[in-house]
Amino acid sequence: MLGNLTGESFLIAISGIVIVFIMLAVLCAFIPLISRCVQMVESRGRKAAPAKSVAPAAPAPQAAPEPAGGTYGGEVMLIDVDEKTAACIMAIVSHETGIPLSELIFKKIKAL
């Protein structure tokens, strides 16, 4: 009786492992399919968006506005931040906001 129980347990365990691997294979095929569908929807959205909303072009800014406290000398106060990290932060802010680095004014960068 004990030998039969062990054989059944072994078959149940093997069938469970086989089912898990089959499901993993299905997911492996399903994920790229979903990715392609999402990319197609996004590309259609990008192509359709400019056609729907046509806005007049904004005039280019003439000069960067001066800060309220008078003319700014261009010095950046770094508090617990080295120059390389500060340069990376400035580049990231410029990239994420879409504002050219020459138009941004940084007065102080402080590590939190």
C-alpha distances in Å from residue 105, one per residue of 70, 76, 86, 96: 13, 9, 13, 15
Q: Count how many domains the chain has.
A: 2
- CA-to-CA distance for 103 and 61, rounded, in angstroms? 10
Q: H helices then E strands: how many in the chain?
A: 2, 2
Q: Please check whether residue 18 lies inside any domain of the structure.
A: yes
Stretch 65-77: mean pLDDT: 63
* pTM of the model as a whole: 0.36
Q: Please check whether residue 70 lies inside any domain of the structure.
A: no
pLDDT value at residue 19: 97
Q: Please check whether residue 82 lies inside any domain of the structure.
A: yes
Q: How many residues does the chain have?
A: 112
Q: Please check whether residue 59 lies inside any domain of the structure.
A: no
Q: Please check whether residue 8 lies inside any domain of the structure.
A: yes
Q: Please check whether residue 56 lies inside any domain of the structure.
A: no
pLDDT, tens only, 23-68: 999 999 999 999 999 888 888 877 765 554 455 555 555 555 555 5
pLDDT, tens only, 3-32: 566 788 889 999 999 999 999 999 999 999
User: What is the pLDDT confidence band of residue 102, given thresholds at 50, 70 and 90?
Assistant: confident
- Full residue range of the structural domain in which residue 2 is found: 1-45
Q: Please check whether residue 53 lies inside any domain of the structure.
A: no
Q: Please check whether residue 69 lies inside any domain of the structure.
A: no
Q: Is the pLDDT of residue 83 over 60?
A: yes
pLDDT value at residue 47: 72
The C-alpha torsion from 16 through 22 and 27 to 32, rounded to 10°, is 160
Same structural domain, 41 and 81? no
pLDDT value at residue 26: 95
